[in-house]
Structure 1
Amino acid sequence: MMRTAILMIVLFLGVSGGALYMQWRDYEQVHNEAKDVPLVHFIDIKHDGKTLEIQQTVTGLTTPVYTIQVPINAKQLTYTIGDDKRTLTYDRNGKAAVKRNGHDKIVFHYVMPLPATKPIWLERWMASFLSSQPQHLYVQLTDYTKSGIWVAGAPLDASLKKEMSTFYSWSQKGITSFPLYFHPVELPRNVYGKIEVYGGRKENVTKWANVPSFTLVWTNGGTQHLSPTLAVVPETISLSSLKEMYMRTYYAAYFLPNGEINAVVADLLTAFTLQKQPVTPKGKAIWQQLTQKLTKDEQKAFFTAVLKQRGKSLTPAMLDEALSASHTGKTTYFTDSFTTRRSMSLVFTNEGKIYVNGVPLKHAKAVLQNEKVLLPFVDVMNALGYHVRRTGEAVFIEKGDNRWRFFVNSSIYMKGNDRFGAPAIIIYDVNGALYMTPDMMQYWFPVQISLTERDVIVFSP
């Protein structure tokens, strides 16, 4: 409230943007005495109808080098540190490394061309700092066109119509950026605590996620844009459908951008949170495995561990670690799924070793599936001197004059040209590899198998 009061006084007295920045900086100095010094962004925007001219001042620099995510389509992008003004260069991913050279402030200046068609949605319009420091955003926009309305994914602190322009001011803490939206006609605004609703539809809306604020814009057209702090949707959409779409957007932005894996994990987290089916093909396949192979408590433990990675870059190995911690054994399920690009069965491996006649098998692990221990059939049999060959669904085993023929995931076996049935599945296909239980292996072959707390001991007389 104090900041809003300062804003209004400044507006009516006609104080310059530079003076306004100094007052806001004084207001924030108390935070600089804290242990975690915040990065404070003061962003001044001027809209002339065709472009946004932006000056972004950031204080609180403490790290020698910062990684900056450059605004999409930004032109004439420069930055100034001390008296040194330079053109900002960045890689093909839009990231730049900036050294602060002992200074605690940097000033960016850039121009954002705007599309000719309205409305306008801008998501990556500001220079974002990929930093663990807390960040505070103070944005003011002066619109010289005096048409339509600007809305942001942050609380509106003040707006004022003057003779030649319209002024807006927003502020938000605890986020690194928020989107801007321009609607070509004025919209009514209602405020419900930390929620702002624009448009004619009046309905009780609550925050669905842990965000500092939420702004919802109902439109009478087909415009639809979603972000964690701002949603622009047709007024014909139901709240339940909106909530489901919103949660996927929220969880996708919960982690640092990392392509497909974010979309899949967001789909899974939404399914778990709302207890609804995923919508992406990969999400559906993974969800089926998780719900079949994990108990409810194990599912909760897995997703809780994933949510603890907020603000980090998701990797398949990170997901495998969380999945392994939720269940007995280890798994590389996510690594294998994203590497092979096909549906996989979720399996956990015993971390002990397999010894065949006293010799440990390299890179071979027993699999734990449906409370059964499955041994890697080809590795064990080859170590015992057997030759194993697979043709389609048939598996042929030979040693000396002895012959066996089994069929994967089946209780059928053959002697000569005759088919017989066993009481249970003889040999399993798990993600393209052959496995057999210790009991079944001892039944068909002259071996003795014992299981210790960690290891598997196979002995052939």
Structure 2
Amino acid sequence: MRLIVMTAFMIIVSIVLGAYQWLDYQSSQVDHQQQQQPTINIELKENESQLSVQVLIEHLPSDTYTINQPEHAKHFTCNLSEGQVCLEDENQLKLEQKQVVILSYHLPLQNEEINYFLSWLPEVYDKDGLIKTPVKTTLTSPSGVNSHWFTHQQPTFSETLDHIRYQEWTFQSDTDIPLVNIKGQYDSYSLNDRVNLVSSIPIKLQPFNDLLNRGFQDVRQIFIVSPKLDPLKLESLSVLNSSEKRHIVSSLLTSKLLSLTDEKEESGLLLDVVNAYFFTTDLQTSKGKQMLESLRQSVTGNKKDEWLDELLNLDQSDNHLANILEQSLLPLDIHTNFFTLNHSKEKFTPFYGMDQRIITLNQKPVDQEWQGIIYEKQSYLPLESLIEITGMTLTKTNDEELLVHDGTNRFRFYPERDLYIINEANYQIDEQLLVDINNKLYINTSLASQIFPFSIDVGQNNININQ
């Protein structure tokens, strides 16, 4: 009996020791893996006319990497810890063994009230995509100058000594970090871990907090409030002259829309029009004013509030902002190419919606693939298609006149003058008669039914031409 007990005891001890050794091995493996995760340390130093940047990337496994340098970086160099120069083959880095990668470059500083950098971090890609790892960033700047550095979050550590000011942050490498230098005295307020407010005047935080909770939880932003600076709306950075709510939400919406598109620099007109529509901000261009007026006449009442809610809750990106704006109108049952046409063409195109109703002739679907539009809340049909499907003929007699024949009937149209003549006797002027959309004429459906020798019934699901 005693022998059995001793044997059982030894077995239990062996099991416990084995389990301990296995857990210890697993723990050491985890620690080893954690130690081998790539790390990025960035050291920033402000000089008189530039910000010097040194990036140390450690624990990169042997592999081939792509390193994209920042757009405004000057004197960009890449070296390995053993002294070799890297990136000799454009932006490709091939590591045969683990080494520290050292990237160095300068960011120019202008003699301005504000200097800002929105995409100043190098991007490091492996075969799986952008390497995502915490980035420890330190910045030293002269303490005797009347300027300060800010980002979208408060520093984890800061200290001011006799001659230098030291700040430290930890960021994620897959995020664009707004880095801003401002001259003058500013107070900084952290609204959350993604939004920082910097102001030269006393300010209430509540308007900002209220709006951040309305569809902007994921926005990364630094607000600068100063009556002296020129207003600015960029992705991740806004300069405001006051804390007026419409300017705050306008900046947040601009930042959000820019974050969803790659076409940032070309999106200015569309952003200006959208902001003017929702927040009555100023427009400088005549085309922008035309677009705004057309938008105001077409998306009205509850549709305006519904559209803003759609924009605030957007999460789908696209290369083109015009596509994003048009997609956001679909839940409102508004199908349009308004933004695409006005963005891509110099000529102004009025706001319209694609009419989703089926076109029928004598209650039978037509073979032609064309559809009407909704313009200023009225139905319009493409003039040439309507003439063709009803067996009439169209002749363009000159640049100003269109002549339509139907047997002995003659109809003359003068689009630029809103004039039409029936059988050389009946002269009529109607501003709603024709509309030019992308160099294609559309005729008001109701007026077409009165002018031509057939009737058109506009129903809920179809538009029927009775001939």
TM normalised by structure 2 equals 0.67
User: Cα 1:163–1:405, aligned 2, differ >3 Å: closer, same or farther?
Assistant: closer
Contact 2:143 2:162 in 1 (8 A): no
Using the TM superposition, give the Cα deviation of residue 181 of structure 1 relative to its aligned residue in structure 2, in angstroms: 0.9
Counterpart of 1:202 in 2: which secondary structure?
coil
Question: Deviations 1:315-372 (Å, cap 9, x if unpaired)?
Answer: 43343333334225x3222222222222212222234664668794545322233554
Counterpart of 2:259 in 1: which secondary structure?
coil
Q: What residue number does 2:411 align with? A: 404
Using the TM superposition, give the Cα deviation of residue 394 of structure 1 relative to its aligned residue in structure 2, in angstroms: 4.4
Contact 1:74 1:112 in 2 (8 A): yes
Using the TM superposition, give the Cα deviation of residue 135 of structure 1 relative to its aligned residue in structure 2, in angstroms: 7.0
Contact 1:378 1:388 in 2 (8 A): no
Is 1:434 aligned to 2:441, yes or no?
yes
Q: What residue number does 2:323 align with? A: 317
The AA in structure 2 aligned to 1:109 is L
Q: What residue number does 1:152 align with? A: 150
Q: What residue number does 1:9 align with? A: none
User: Cα 1:300–1:99, aligned 2, differ >3 Å: closer, same or farther?
Assistant: farther
Counterpart of 2:156 in 1: which secondary structure?
strand
Counterpart of 2:347 in 1: which secondary structure?
coil
User: Cα 1:388–1:215, aligned 2, differ >3 Å: closer, same or farther?
Assistant: closer
User: Cα 1:437–1:142, aligned 2, differ >3 Å: closer, same or farther?
Assistant: closer
User: Cα 1:223–1:238, aligned 2, differ >3 Å: closer, same or farther?
Assistant: closer
Using the TM superposition, give the Cα deviation of residue 121 of structure 1 relative to its aligned residue in structure 2, in angstroms: 1.0
Structure 1 CA distance for aligned equivalents of residues 383 and 230 of structure 2: 57
Using the TM superposition, give the Cα deviation of residue 285 of structure 1 relative to its aligned residue in structure 2, in angstroms: 3.0
Structure 1 CA distance for aligned equivalents of residues 419 and 80 of structure 2: 76
Is 1:279 aligned to 2:283, yes or no?
yes
Where does 1:240-259 land on structure 2 (aligned, <5 Å)? Answer: 240=244, 243=248, 246-247=251-252, 250-251=255-256, 253-259=258-264
| Segment of structure 1 superposing worse, 191-200 or 318-327 | 191-200
Larger Rg: 2
Counterpart of 1:263 in 2: which secondary structure?
helix
Contact 1:136 1:175 in 2 (8 A): no
Using the TM superposition, give the Cα deviation of residue 402 of structure 1 relative to its aligned residue in structure 2, in angstroms: 3.1
Question: Deviations 1:79-110 (Å, cap 9, x if unpaired)?
Answer: 769998622777xxxxx6x6798999984512
Contact 1:135 1:176 in 2 (8 A): no
Q: What residue number does 2:332 align with? A: 326
**Residue 384 (structure 2) aligned to one of 352, 373, 378:** 378
Contact 1:410 1:426 in 2 (8 A): no
The AA in structure 1 aligned to 2:156 is D
User: Cα 1:151–1:291, aligned 2, differ >3 Å: closer, same or farther?
Assistant: same
Counterpart of 1:334 in 2: which secondary structure?
helix
How many residues in Structure 1 have an aligned counterpart in Structure 2? 412
Q: What residue number does 1:22 align with? A: none
**Residue 121 (structure 1) aligned to one of 115, 124, 134:** 115
Contact 1:306 1:322 in 2 (8 A): yes
Structure 2 CA distance for aligned equivalents of residues 229 and 443 of structure 1: 55
Where does 1:123-272 land on structure 2 (aligned, <5 Å)? Answer: 123=117, 124-128=119-123, 136-143=134-141, 147-153=145-151, 154-162=153-161, 165-172=164-171, 175-181=175-181, 183=183, 187=185, 189=187, 191=189, 194=192, 201-205=201-205, 207=208, 209=212, 210=216, 211=219, 214=222, 216=224, 218=226, 237-240=241-244, 243=248, 246-247=251-252, 250-251=255-256, 253-259=258-264, 261-271=266-276
TM normalised by structure 1 equals 0.68
RMSD: 4.9
Contact 2:235 2:254 in 1 (8 A): yes
User: Cα 1:298–1:178, aligned 2, differ >3 Å: closer, same or farther?
Assistant: same
Contact 1:198 1:217 in 2 (8 A): yes
Contact 1:49 1:145 in 2 (8 A): no
Identical residues among aligned pairs (%): 12
Q: What residue number does 1:302 align with? A: 307
Contact 1:248 1:267 in 2 (8 A): no
Contact 1:156 1:170 in 2 (8 A): yes
Question: Deviations 1:179-205 (Å, cap 9, x if unpaired)?
Answer: 23164x7x4645465576667633334
User: Cα 1:204–1:316, aligned 2, differ >3 Å: closer, same or farther?
Assistant: closer
Structure 1 CA distance for aligned equivalents of residues 289 and 59 of structure 2: 44
Q: What residue number does 2:43 align with? A: 44
Structure 2 CA distance for aligned equivalents of residues 362 and 352 of structure 1: 14
Counterpart of 1:169 in 2: which secondary structure?
strand
Structure 2 CA distance for aligned equivalents of residues 118 and 406 of structure 1: 59
Structure 2 CA distance for aligned equivalents of residues 82 and 312 of structure 1: 43
Using the TM superposition, give the Cα deviation of residue 43 of structure 1 relative to its aligned residue in structure 2, in angstroms: 1.7
Contact 2:200 2:226 in 1 (8 A): yes
Using the TM superposition, give the Cα deviation of residue 269 of structure 1 relative to its aligned residue in structure 2, in angstroms: 4.5
Counterpart of 2:342 in 1: which secondary structure?
helix
Q: What residue number does 1:387 align with? A: 394
Using the TM superposition, give the Cα deviation of residue 439 of structure 1 relative to its aligned residue in structure 2, in angstroms: 5.1
Structure 2 CA distance for aligned equivalents of residues 379 and 317 of structure 1: 27
Q: What residue number does 2:18 align with? A: none
Contact 1:80 1:108 in 2 (8 A): yes
User: Cα 1:333–1:146, aligned 2, differ >3 Å: closer, same or farther?
Assistant: same
**Residue 350 (structure 2) aligned to one of 337, 345, 366:** 345
User: Cα 1:127–1:256, aligned 2, differ >3 Å: closer, same or farther?
Assistant: farther
Structure 2 unmatched runs, 5+: 1-29
Contact 1:408 1:426 in 2 (8 A): no
User: Cα 1:41–1:295, aligned 2, differ >3 Å: closer, same or farther?
Assistant: farther
Counterpart of 2:323 in 1: which secondary structure?
helix
Using the TM superposition, give the Cα deviation of residue 408 of structure 1 relative to its aligned residue in structure 2, in angstroms: 4.1
Using the TM superposition, give the Cα deviation of residue 152 of structure 1 relative to its aligned residue in structure 2, in angstroms: 1.6
The AA in structure 1 aligned to 2:77 is L
Contact 2:38 2:60 in 1 (8 A): yes
Contact 2:87 2:93 in 1 (8 A): no
Contact 1:150 1:181 in 2 (8 A): yes
